[in-house]
A and B are shown apart, each in its own frame.
Chain A
Amino acid sequence: MHIPDGFIAPQMYLPAYGVAAGLWAYGARRLRAALREETIPRLAVLTAFSFVVMMVMVPLPGGTSAHASGIALLAIVFGVWTAFVSVSLVLLLQALLFGAGGVTALALNALAMGLVGSVAARYAYLLLRRIHQGFGLVAAGWLSINASALLLALALGVQPAIAHGEDGQPLFFPFGLSVTLPAVMIPHALVGIGEGALTLLMFRLLSQRGWVAAR
């Protein structure tokens, strides 16, 4: 789901860094206040958890699969700020140590996946679990993927409008919203169902082990 390097104009990625920096500082302060001396080890290990969950497969019909994100589970169990900071650290690790994902798009990816995905998942779950917990978990998983994908599709889709040459040719990503929205959202609508099912199954296993309350 990440946006790679080179497709986002500085008019967008620089302000995104400004917004993300403030939110990272706030998130880190919140975590430090809540966890105290356990902040570093817990955050490090949850970053590793987030890293590895992003490598776990979401099975799709027909024998294919996609990568899970695990963001909904992190946000539901640990809260939005833990999920946001952990996912941001994973993106930083991937960009700096593996050269994957890209440094210019890091802040935007972190805001979309870590923040918007987490907020959508957590609040959808809190709202819908009153009706049915299982439905709330599946919806949270679906929304975590699709809310992030929507933001990334919007970010990509406005590139031709905000960065183009004098002849009207795009300078970064070439397609407008009429292409990015269906191209990004339709596959993610399907992957989101898988992510939702996986969120439900993992949550149930964690409830059986006593890590989370089954309600």
Chain B
Amino acid sequence: MSELKDLTGAAVQSPVLSRVVTALGGLVLEVEEQNPQRGWVRVDPARVRESARILFGEQRARLATVSGLEVRDGIDILYHWALDADGYIVTVKALAARPSLAIDSVGQDLPACNWIEREMHDLLGAEFRGHPDMRRLLLADDWPEGVHPLRRGFQVPKVDATGRRETAAWAGAPDADAKARRFSAPKPGKPGRTLINIGPFHPLQEEAEFFQLYCEGETVVDMDVRLSYNHRGIEELSTRMTWDQVPFLVERVCGICSASHPWAYIRAVESIGDIHAPPRAEYLRTIVAELERLHSHMLWVGLAGHFLGYNTVWMWAWKYREPVMDILEVITGSRIHYANNRIGGVRRDVPPDLYPEIRKAVDSLKKPLEMLTNAVLDDPVLHARLKGVGVLTKEDALAWGVTGPTARGSGLAIDVRRDHPHGAYGEVDWQVITQPAGDVFAKAVVRCLECFEAIKIIEQCLDRIPEGPIAAEVSHIPPGEGCGNYEAPRGETFHYVRSDGGAGPVRHKIRAPSYVNIPSFRASCIGQHIADVSIILASVDPCYSCTERLARAYDAETRKPRYDFNDLVRMSQERTRRLRKQV
């Protein structure tokens, strides 16, 4: 076989890319090698399903996300496949050509691709042939049909005198069927089937959610979700900002991932410009990101405790989390939005006289964390309450492409920090925590144990942090495209950035970890008791602010309210109490 050539005529260096291209065989039209961890392959658009089957089935790749990009001939659909075992990301491109802008749906074979195709249908107007469920996902109910915010020429309408963005002037007349194609129409209930609405006031980074559970007796038989309540349009906004402004925007994607999103974005941009941050900057990034993981996991432990009726755990976990918030404020100037990362390095140095303070803060966490972990591991009630509940099997975890503690709790040993080395993670000693069971208990254990790993990482970083500059000089970003990912507390956050050599990105795709973790509820919730649903929903940690939601249960026949959210929490707490007596 002749040597594999890339677009420019150079031989492909990476054995991983060669292997993937060989496996894809006749599907491949073009190959482009960017660097030893990134490759791009263009395939025949008519055979995109076959490419997905080969990559998922044979190459064991994980579909990180899909992004769409309007080009002259249509819409380029970019399937980003992560080969975690090789630390490689290969992007498969296929063109959905004008005028139909249609391509075969991968979502009909692979659940992980379901939502993202719906999203691209909303935002770009691409059509996916054979997609099982092409309802509106992200845009609001009153958004005009046929207006796609990520298409060229889209302009945010002006604000009128009342402060409202006027939509009447927009192209695309409202059509009569639009409402039917959107969400909200409840499926016809069987007799005895109850519809329970959870939401919509339930905050979750880009996606506030509105769950509908279909129940027979106490068992959940089906569920559905409607997003958009929190859809702000960050990807479109990002293309109107400069390279250096975007980190401030993306840290506001999600408040608890405000070190992770900028880092993933910066990794993408640095891969376009072949920029390398100095070692000291990588250490400083690692320290802030791990402190964020600590505070995020402790926050989750507290909220999970609240859901189960252990309000003491909630108060304790949040009390012991305060030293982390204080130290973050000392290092970065803010408790939450750190504004610390920039392309090529970090903005603020940490003077060495602060090291003992950081050490003291993380050291003060060890004892309470041990206590909390033991409270989880040894409590017979928690065992009874969480073991075997909401099981996400390894097969389902793979098919839905889940990441982070949700995947590791199902026995999938994937972690961006180890698999795609960056920061200081390659130079310190730490472990990827996994648990095989896949139930809520396993996910709780993973999070508790990860706190100790985070402490280990921070302490070693403080021991080894080198002296030197904190940022590299960056003059401009050349044209090109790049992918960056980072292991946020909830899982992999993935950014795709494209540059035309100008002042800011021309396309910026953000995929937050909950975006892949939430749809897996369909696999883990169905067949469970209603009383368990609130903790199963919480088990992927979808940025819960738990107490404030509009949740009500309606009787499917009479439409009379039966339970509200407080009742559900009360039912969940009562079940714990009952079990406590039995155990």
Q: Say if A and B assemble together.
A: no
Residues on B lying within 8 angstroms of A by beta carbon are none
